[in-house]
Structure 1
Amino acid sequence: MITGSQCHAGRALVEISRAELASRSRVDELIIEQFEHEMELPGPAAIAAIQKALEDLGAVFICEDGGGIGVRLKAPKPAARHGSEKKGGGGLRAGHNAQ
């Protein structure tokens, strides 16, 4: 089960608002706010719904393992290479400065 801090961090990582999380999880926005500020602990079903919504968007929650709890993003799947890509990669071209 995630903590309020993990909820807040997960929401930041997947870049959604509290309102969007409320809509996706079907948990009232005020309950999510109170949970994130550790003012109120929602029931287990609400926390599970919040966690699932964030996981569906790419958050991965890390349990206490001696290094502390946390949250990170799923590793992106490697992009398929297209035949139209130029060989040699896409670095800066000679004469162009990075701004």
Structure 2
Amino acid sequence: MIDLQCKMARAALGLGVRDLAALARVSTDTIARLERGEKLKPATIMAIAAALETAGLSLRRMVNGGPGVRLRMKE
């Protein structure tokens, strides 16, 4: 599910693969692997999720069980 959320999150935030990789301190290949649905170490996934949340996004599981993202309101 994180693979689809990552794509949706990048689109919502206007981030490219390189941008997210830099924020998460991982390689661009790691982001591409995640978005292809390849298995990554839990710590790597947590680093990417934390970077997205720091950038202003919340990863959510929707009521129907599907993936979702939500932009936080700017203060």
TM range (shorter): 0.7 to 0.9
Q: Aligned residue for 1:47?
A: 45
- Please provide the CA RMSD for this pair: 1.5
1:28 counterpart = 2:27: yes
**2:10 is paired with a residue of what secondary structure?**
helix
Give the C-alpha shift of residue 69 in structure 1: 2.0
Give the C-alpha shift of residue 67 in structure 1: 4.9
TM-score, normalized by length of structure 2? 0.87
**2:39 is paired with a residue of what secondary structure?**
coil
Deviations 1:15-63 (A, max 9, x none): 111111111111111111111121x111101100000111101111112
Give the C-alpha shift of residue 9 in structure 1: 0.7
- Tell me which protein shows more strand as a share of its residues: 2
Gaps in structure 2 of 5+ consecutive residues: none
Q: Aligned residue for 2:69?
A: 71
The code of the aligned residue for 1:53 comes to A
Alpha-carbon distance in structure 2 between the residues aligned to 1:12 and 1:68 = 17
TM-score, normalized by length of structure 1? 0.68
Q: Aligned residue for 1:11?
A: 10
Contact 2:4 2:67 in 1 (8 A): no
Q: Identify which of structures 1 and 2 has the higher relative contact order when contacts are C-alpha pairs closer than 8 Å and 6+ apart.
A: 2
